[in-house]
Amino acid sequence: MVKPAALLTGLLAAAPGALAAPMPGPQTLTEHTLAPRQGGYYFQNWSEGGSNIRCINGPGGSYTANWNSRGGFVCGKGWSYGGNRVIRYSGSYNATGPGYLAVYGWTRNPLIEYYVIEAHADLAPNEPWTRKGEFTIDGEGTYEVFTSTRVNKPSIEGTRTFQQYWSVRKEQRVGGSVTTQRHFEAWQRFGMNLGWHDYVIMATEGYTATGGPGSAGSASITVQ
């Protein structure tokens, strides 16, 4: 999905430098370090070709989403720099059709779109998935790992061809902690390398599978 203009809840303004100089990863930055520089949480609200999609930026780390659409969208709350984080989240997610509740982010050089799927409706990717294996994180769960390739599709660098990395939790949940470093390390063991980290959010996504129906649902999520 494409990165729209950044909205920082602390400043209520666009972040014109967010794309210009992403920081190298992996690094671990604390919330205390990030808050003075970024002004709070990053909110994303992107859609294409759809209607009846409503995503609302709430106070702090919260947002809500309601949709019934044949188009694609992704919205969520997080940080304009990804990297190694422990993302704690809570809330509700109910959906039908293709879509996910996931930690969602990008890296550059190489350009990678990645997901850690915590809950989902239909898993109906428009590109073929290749299974790489699975791994377990103590206290967080067991995840299956997949890759896919998007050809001439929108990205944070314009229309490009790029890989997607996927961790899919075997037992779905809505609420808990995701240690992104553990996923990055597991992906590296499978030969899946990342680049310089751009934004990361706890995202709600819906879309239309090729030749299939759209999606509908609601979500109310808070990240910490």
Cα–Cα distance list, 184 to 158, 187, 205 (Å): 24, 5, 21
Question: Contact at 8 Å (CB) between 167 and 116?
Answer: yes
Cα 18 from Cα 196, distance rounded (Å): 13
Cα 154 from Cα 3, distance rounded (Å): 9
Q: What pairing do the DSSP bridges indicate for beta strands 72-79 and 86-96?
A: unpaired
User: What is the b/e burial string over 168-205, where b = at least 16 CB atoms within 10 angstroms of the residue's CB?
Assistant: bbeeeebeeebbbbbbbebbeebebebebbbbbbbbbb
The answer to whether residue 113 is catalytic is: yes
**Annotated catalytic residue: which of 118, 127, 157, 205?**
205
Helix (H) or strand (E) holding 132: strand 130-137
**Annotated catalytic residue: which of 31, 113, 118, 127?**
113
**Per DSSP, what are the bridge partners of residue 206?**
73, 99
Which residues are marked as active site?
113, 205
